[in-house]
Structure 1
Amino acid sequence: MSVRFVDIHVLQSVPPSCVNRDDTGSPKSAIYGGVRRSRVSSQAWKRAARADFEQHLDRAELGVRTKRVLELMVNDMADLAPDMTLEERVERANKVLDAGKLKPKPVKVKKSAVEGEEPGLAETDYLIFFSRAQIRRLAEIAVGNDKPTAKEVLAAASAEHGIEVSLFGRMVADNKLLTVDASVQVAHALSTHGAEIESDYFTAVDDKREADDQGADMIGVVDFTSSTLYRYATINMGLLTENLGDEAAAVRAAQAFVRAFTLSMPTGKQNTFANRTLPEAVVVVLREDQPVNAVGAFEAPVVAKGQGLVAESARRLNDKLASVQSFLDAPAATFVTTSSDAADVLAGGAAVPLATLVDSVGESLTASLESK
C-alpha cells in the first residue's frame, strides 16, 4: 500500500448564517444541477483552517501571508543586531528583498492620516506567503551580508517552508523560482440541496431616547441562508513530503490539516448568527490512484422528507463513495466519524472522537511510508 492522496469529505448542517459574503453582502451561491445552492468559497475555508492552526500548532511551524515582509524582517533584525539603527536595518532588509526581486514600494499616505504621523515601512505590491523560519533567515542574511545575492535569497526562501506554505503553496509573480506548489486542494462547499437567500429586517433604538419618542434610530437588512453543506479537500502526500522535506513531518501536517479543515468555520457574521456547528459526518479516504470529489452525489438536489436533510445526504454520499470503489480500485483505507443522524447510513459510521480518526489516519500514513 502506498498512499498518494488523502480525501476528506464532510457533511455539515449550518443554521441561518452568512459565513461568506459576495460583493453585495449576500451569502455566496452557485448553480449546480440546475438548482441554486448555498456556497462557501475555498479561500474562506482555507483561511479558517489556518486560523485553527494557530490554536494547536507551534507558532514557529506556521507562516504569514503579508505585504509587510520588510517590517517583519526589520523586527527580527532588531533581535539579531540590537545595536543596528532602524535606518540601517531598513536599508539592509531592502537590499535582500531587492535581490529576490521583491523590492517593496513606499506606502501611500492616506488623506485621513494625522498630520505629522510617520508613514509605515514600504510594502510589496501583493501578499506573499513565507514561513516564520524563512523570514528569520532573510533577516540573518540582511544582518550578515552587505551585498546579498539572488542565490542566497532563493536558498533562504526555498527551505523550511513550514506546515502552512507546504500545504497551501506560494505564488510569487516577480520571481517564479520562489513559487511553491500547493499540496492541498479545497473545493467550494456546496449545499446538498436547493437553498434560498432570505433577509432579516432589523431595527435598533437609542438607549437614551425619551420613552414617548416613537420609531427606530437605525434600520437595516442582513441577508442569510441555511444549508447542509458538502465540503471536500484533498492532500497530495507526495508533494507535501517534497515541500516539507521529511516524511514524518508530512504525516503530522496531514493530520493537522484533517483536524483543522474538519473543525474550522469561516467567521463571517458569527456575532449576528452564532452559527458555529460541528460536522454531521467526516469521511477520510486514503487513495493510491487519484483524488475523487464526491459532489456528484448531490447533482440531483436532496429533498427533505420529514426527517431533515442530513440522513439523506449521508446516504447519497455513502452510495457515491461505493460507486467510486466499483469504478476505481478500492481505497487503501477509509475512516469515518458521524453524528447519530448519519451513522446508520454511512458504512462503517460511528460516533468516534475526531482525535481517534486523526490518529488512525496518521497510523495508516506512517505504515504506508514504512511499507515502501
Structure 2
Amino acid sequence: MTDRLYIDVHILQTVPPANLNRDDNGNPKEAYFGGKRRSRVSSQAWKRATRMHFAETHDPQDLATRTKRISARLAEGITSRTAVTAEDAQRIADALIKSTGISAGKKEGDTAYLLFYGRRQLDGIVDLVADTATDLAALDAKGLDEAVKALPVKEQLQSGHPADVALFGRMVADIPSLNVDAATQVAHAISTHAAELEFDYYTAVDDENSADETGAGMIGTIGFNSATLYRYATVGLHQLRDNLGDDKAAIDAVDLFVDSFARSMPTGYGNSFAHRTRPSLVAVVIRTDQPVNLVSAYENAVPARHGIVAESARRLATEFSTATDQWGDEPLYVGICHTLGADTDEIGQQLAKAFGANRTFAALRDGLRASLTERVNGN
C-alpha cells in the first residue's frame, strides 16, 4: 500500500462538572475560539488517557512505556535472566544505554529525557547480553564500554515497535535515527459552546474533633467547568504501515486506537467529580486526500440552552455534508454511532444523511476494519 489513507475520528462527549486537565493555577484549561471562552482538554492529556486504556485490552508487555528509567528497567531484566548481581546488572545496563548515544540525565541511572520504547524491545536488548553477562560483569568500566559497542543495541530500538509507539511516534532530538514519525494526530478538545470557570468551595471536618470543637479541619477550592466537547483525531494508515511493517498489524492498531480514544477519559480530580461519561456521538471517516478537522462547525458557539449536544450534532452533520459537497472529496467510508435518537427522528435523519445509518460501536469498528482491509488488499 503506497497511497495515503487517513482515518478521521469525530466525537461529541458531554462531561459534567469536572477538572479533567488543569493549568498551572490548578484550574481547567481553557481556550478562546470564535471570540468565546471554551473549555479545553489538551491533546497530550487525551493521548495519555488513550495509551493507558490500551492496557485494558492488551498485555502491557506488548505495549510501550515512557520513562527516564530505561537503564533501571534494563538492569531488572538482566538480573531476572542471568546470575549476575543487581549491581553488576546495573553496570551492564548503563553501558548498553551509553552505547546508543542517549544522553545521561542529572540523576544517576536516568536519561536526560523521557524515552518511549516497547517492553519487548527492551527484552531484545537483554537477549544480547543474557549469555555473556557474567563475562561482561568481570570487565572494568573501559573494557565493558568497549565490549558492548559492537552489540546492535540501537537496532533493537529501531524495529519491532509496539502499536503505541507506531501510533504516537518518538522523538529523540540528539539521535534522529531513533525517531519514529507519529501516525496519529490528536486535536485539543474544546467545548462547542461558551464555558465559564466555576469554583467548588469545600471543607473537611476532623473526625476526631471533640464535642466542643467546631469548624473545619481543612478549607479549599477546586476550579471546574462542565462542557459538551468536540474531540478530533486522525490516523495515517500509510505511516502506521511504515512504522509496523505489516498491513494487518496497522489495521489492528487503528481499531485499537479508535476503541481506546472513544472509551478513555483523563483522570484529573476523578475522585472528586466522578466525571466518567461515554460519547454521545462517534463518527469515523476514511479519506485519501488529507485529514479534515470539523471544528469550524463551532466557530459560532452553540447557545447555552436545552439540547446543546443535539445542536452540536446537527452542526457537525451540516459541516461535514457542506464540506464534502463543496470540495468534492467523497470519503471512502463513513460510519457513525450515536445515542441521539432513531434514524426516523429529525436529528437522526440529519445524522443519517451525513454519516449513514446509526449502528452500534462494535458494528462501527467492524465496518471500519472491513473497509480498511478491502482497501489495502486492493479490492
TM-score using structure 1 length: 0.91
Where in structure 2 are there 5+ consecutive unaligned residues? Answer: 137-146, 342-346
| 1:316 equivalent in alignment to 2:315 | yes
Is the CA contact (8 Å cut-off) linking 1:94 and 1:103 kept in structure 2?
no
Q: Within 2, Cα distance between the matches of 1:40 and 1:66?
A: 23
Aligned to 2:278: 278
Deviation readout 1:299-353 (Å, 9 max, x if unpaired): 1101134x32011100110011112212141000001000125634312465532
Aligned to 1:114: none
Runs of 4+ in 1 over 6 A off after TM superposition: none
Matched residue SS, 2:304: coil
Matched residue SS, 2:289: coil
Is the CA contact (8 Å cut-off) linking 1:60 and 1:133 kept in structure 2?
yes
Matched residue SS, 1:7: strand
| 1:127 equivalent in alignment to 2:114 | yes
Matched residue SS, 2:56: helix
Aligned to 1:364: 371
Aligned to 2:166: 166
Q: Within 2, Cα distance between the matches of 1:322 and 1:16?
A: 32
Aligned to 2:248: 248
Is the CA contact (8 Å cut-off) linking 1:29 and 1:38 kept in structure 2?
yes
Report the residue type matching 1:301 in the other structure. A
Aligned to 1:200: 200
Is the CA contact (8 Å cut-off) linking 1:205 and 1:216 kept in structure 2?
yes
Matched residue SS, 1:31: strand
Aligned to 2:361: 354
| 1:62 equivalent in alignment to 2:50 | no
By how many angstroms is 1:151 displaced? 7.3
| 1:139 equivalent in alignment to 2:143 | no
Q: Within 1, Cα distance between the matches of 2:198 and 2:242?
A: 46
By how many angstroms is 1:231 displaced? 0.1
Aligned to 2:53: 52
Aligned to 1:291: 291
Matched residue SS, 1:122: coil
Which of 350, 367, 374 lines up with 1:345 in the alignment? Answer: 350
Equivalent residues in 2 for 1:144-155, closer than 5 Å: 147-149=147-149, 152-155=152-155
Matched residue SS, 2:227: strand
By how many angstroms is 1:165 displaced? 0.4
By how many angstroms is 1:144 displaced? 5.1
Q: Within 2, Cα distance between the matches of 1:254 and 1:243?
A: 13
Aligned Cα root-mean-square deviation (Å): 1.8
Matched residue SS, 2:55: helix
Q: Within 2, Cα distance between the matches of 1:18 and 1:106?
A: 33
Matched residue SS, 2:152: helix
By how many angstroms is 1:214 displaced? 2.7
Matched residue SS, 1:216: coil
Aligned to 1:43: 44
Equivalent residues in 2 for 1:12-23, closer than 5 Å: 12-23=13-24
By how many angstroms is 1:88 displaced? 2.2
Is the CA contact (8 Å cut-off) linking 2:27 and 2:223 kept in structure 1?
yes
Seen in structure 2, the aligned counterparts of structure 1 residues 139 and 148 have a Cα distance that, compared at 3 Å, is same
Q: Within 1, Cα distance between the matches of 2:232 and 2:115?
A: 26
Deviation readout 1:146-200 (Å, 9 max, x if unpaired): 5233771221111111101000111112211101111000000000010000011
Matched residue SS, 1:276: coil
Where in structure 1 are there 5+ consecutive unaligned residues? Answer: 108-120
TM-score using structure 2 length: 0.90
Q: Within 2, Cα distance between the matches of 1:176 and 1:242?
A: 17
| Larger mean Cα displacement after TM superposition, 219-228 or 203-212 | 203-212
Q: Within 1, Cα distance between the matches of 2:60 and 2:149?
A: 29
Q: Within 1, Cα distance between the matches of 2:348 and 2:52?
A: 29
Report the residue type matching 1:90 in the other structure. Q
